[in-house]
A and B are shown apart, each in its own frame.
Chain A
Amino acid sequence: DVKVTQSSRYLVKRTGEKVFLECVQDMDHENMFWYRQDPGLGLRLIYFSYDVKMKEKGDIPEGYSVSREKKERFSLILESASTNQTSMYLCASSYSQITPGPDTQYFGPGTRLTVL
């Protein structure tokens, strides 16, 4: 079974802190994704990566950066956390690039971040 793990289930940080959210997958997937989930807004793509050291902006990259130094690990970084970044963050991975085909994404359990 594919396993995607995230470093924390719950995280509380203060405004202005630098925050690292870590994601690890164990199935040698090429592609990794970071989403933000807010009530009434669904999942919104922040960043994704198709290969090591490669990254692409999603729909809402402002205020975030990412790092992918190893194939299995994809980190989301909040350079200076703000209260409007309080949210649920979901990491996902997939074997191939996103196409109309049936290859699904596999999700981690999520990190609920609160910025005070």
Chain B
Amino acid sequence: AQKITQTQPGMFVQEKEAVTLDCTYDTSDPSYGLFWYKQPSSGEMIFLIYQGSYDQQNATEGRYSLNFQKARKSANLVISASQLGDSAMYFCAMTINQFYFGTGTSLTVIP
């Protein structure tokens, strides 16, 4: 069975600080993709970053980076220099033949 786990229901971070959102996954399939999405209060899911299971280097997109530790089956999202606009729900997802989503982490950035 495929499974994605996000153990942090809520997180707080000071503005301009870095924050790590945890994600672990469980699959026996050697080929998979890992995504992170941001969902502001408006409701729309916004794609942030992708990591393939065979990618050797960690993915980065601007202030977002994905800390991929394959042996540990973890795919943590790191947001550097947090901004007030980063306050949102964040979802980790894994793809094999469909998308499997975690339960989400609510991030609040404090001024």
**A residues at B contact (CB < 8 Å):** 9, 33, 35, 40-45, 48, 58, 88, 90, 92, 97-102, 104-110, 112
Contact = CB atoms under 8 A, between A and B. Distances in A.
B95 A98 contact: yes
Contact of A100 (B6, B33, B45, B47): B33
A40 B52 CA distance: 26
Given A100-B95, A100-B96, A107 B45 contact: yes
A84 to B, nearest CB: 19
Interface of B: 4, 6, 9, 31-33, 35, 37, 42-47, 50, 52-53, 91, 95-99, 101-104
A98 B33 CA distance: 10
Given A42-B101, A100-B33, A88 B43 contact: yes
A110 B44 contact: yes
Contacts of B91: 42-43
